[in-house]
Amino acid sequence: MIKFENVCFSYENGTQILKDLSFEISEGETVGLIGCNGAGKSTLMKVLLGLLPHEGIVKVSDLELNKNNLEEIRRKLGFVLQDSDNQMFMPTVYEDMMFGPLNYGHTKEEAEARVDEVLEQLNLTYLKHKYNHKISGGEKRMAAIATILTMRPKVILMDEPSTALDPENRRRVINAINDLNITKIIASHDLDMILDTCDRVILMHDGKIIADGKTEDILRDEKLLEANHMELPFKLQGLREFI
């Protein structure tokens, strides 16, 4: 589904942010991107979305990321921003959810059918005609996910989806992620959420991939995490003596 081959990214001043990244993500995988601030997680996702130039090869569904394929590739990708207020820009949830399908050329009837389908899938039908400024932060985060799903992406990218959520809404977001039967890439500092949602983890530091493997194998490796300025997930801290 996704392939990075010797991918690099540098700012114009020569500062290198991504350093020779190579990995593949198969269809249906849920992959967590972890690492301390500045590791390169968000930059990696921006490169995948075609928002930043890059060296090397990036492919999505065997299409190489370039100017000729950019529009088609972006139709396959959905990006849930960290701050839902930057994503939900229409007055109501309904209008936000309609915006994408209508701009992709679907009729109003087709777009509304998608809206109803996604809202039912996420148990959010009650939000359909709510004003965005009158719903809670957790509801807005769920609505932002719903907005992306109406465009039926093959891959959904999420940047810190659990940030600033209370425990109940954090659990709702985790459950929604687990119920999505598509390829998912989740960048987060919330290692407990990564443990609950991801089959695989890519650990980054200073623009490089330090480790890539099964989630539990990496998140149980206390020495590896500490060497990269992270700590064991809270769920595993009580199991230190057994690790």
Domain locations along the chain: 2-242
SS3 of residue 211 by DSSP:
strand
Model confidence pLDDT, tens digit, residues 20-30: 999 999 999 99
- Please state the rounded mean pLDDT for residues 201-212: 97
Cα separation values, 89 from 15, 130, 134, Å: 34, 13, 13
Query: CB atoms < 10 A from the CB of 64, how many?
Result: 13
Handedness of CA 114, 116, 119, 123 (dihedral sign): negative
The pLDDT of residue 152:
93
pLDDT of residue 243 exceeding 50, the answer is no
SS3 of residue 164 by DSSP:
coil
Name the token pair of 166.
């209370």
Name the token pair of 213.
């493997």
- CATH number for the region 2-242 comes to 3.40.50.300
pLDDT of residue 130 exceeding 60, the answer is yes
Model confidence pLDDT, tens digit, residues 228-241: 999 999 888 865 55
Cα separation values, 53 from 66, 69, 70, 162, 204, Å: 9, 14, 12, 28, 20
Question: Model-level pTM?
Answer: 0.91
